[in-house]
Amino acid sequence: MEIDLANVISACGTVVAAYLAYNQYTKNKITDLKVEYFKKEEERKSYKRSENTAKVFGELWRILYELKADRVYIVQPHPLGHVAFLSIQFEVKRKGVSGMLDSIQTLPMSEVANFSKVLAENLFLFYTDIDNEVKDKVAKSLLSVNGCKAVAIKRLNSSADWVGNIFCEFTDRQYPDEETIHHVLHEAAINIQYILPEVRERKI
């Protein structure tokens, strides 16, 4: 029985071509599914981030209202895992009060080393005399120049990690007692610290 080698080779080539085409089709489908999953996951994360952002701003407005403060904001260390800078991306304030957001953007922690250490190590701080109680010169200048007369600061933690601090500022000598301020900030910290979005670089 004679075997037509050309036909065998042709048949094998057809099978191999069909297999390769099927294999490529399967890979393309898997890639399409991965891309679709990635898109949906990004949409979900974006929605969740927006939802969390709204909740954070809601808590800051509540602090401003309940404590009759003049300015409330969150200072966040970043990037997470290798913190080197401080930035503000959440801030609320009374009408006519200057903001701190533009003053604290990607501020090297090395320029406020002492104050950064204080922020990282203390659960709650309450300064009623900025000039005499705040030892870091840069931090003192930033607070004073923007009209701060008293500030309460509550550390935020995610698990055991320091993720930021709520600053509640008063531009006059009228403010609630320390216990009341501590209670309101502690309650807000519990609601914020596990949903606080990471700092994103601002687009100029």
Q: 121 is in which domain, residue-wise?
A: 48-192
| CA 119 – CA 17 distance, rounded (Å) | 65
Q: The domain spanning residue 178 has which CATH number?
A: 3.30.450.40
pLDDT tens digits for range 148-196: 999 999 999 987 789 999 999 999 989 999 999 999 999 999 999 999 9
Q: Position of tokens 């200057």?
A: 98
Distances (CA, A) of 62 to 67, 69, 70, 72: 8, 10, 12, 10
Would you say residue 54 lies in a domain? yes
* 41 has pLDDT over 70: no
Phi, psi of 161 (to 5 degrees): -90, 140
> Residue 183: inside a domain, yes or no?
yes
The answer to whether the CB of 72 falls within 8 A of the CB of 91 is yes
Q: Is residue 27 part of a domain?
A: no
In a domain, 10, yes or no: no
Structure tokens at 46: 């974006």
Q: Do the domain assignments include residue 64? A: yes
Whether residue 22 lies inside any domain: the answer is: no
Do residues 166 and 187 make contact, with C-beta atoms less than 8 angstroms apart? no
* Angle in degrees, 0-180, between the axes of helices 113-121 and 137-145, rounded to the nearest 10: 80
pLDDT digits (tens, 9 = 90+) for 80-92: 778 899 999 999 9
Length of the chain: 204
Identify the pLDDT of residue 113: 94
46 by Cβ neighbours in 10 Å (0-12 / 13-18 / 19+) ranks as exposed
Per-residue model confidence (pLDDT) at position 31: 65
Q: How many domains does the structure of the chain reveal?
A: 1
Three-state DSSP state, 166: strand
Per residue in 101-145, pLDDT tens?
999 999 999 999 999 999 999 999 999 999 999 999 999 999 999
Task: Tell me, yes or no, whether 25 lies in a domain.
Answer: no
- Considering the domain boundaries, does residue 5 fall inside one? no
Kindly give, in sequence order, each residue whose CB lies less than 8 Å from that of residue 58, ignoring residues fewer than 6 positions away.
none
Rounded Cα–Cα distance for residues 194 and 24 (Å): 44
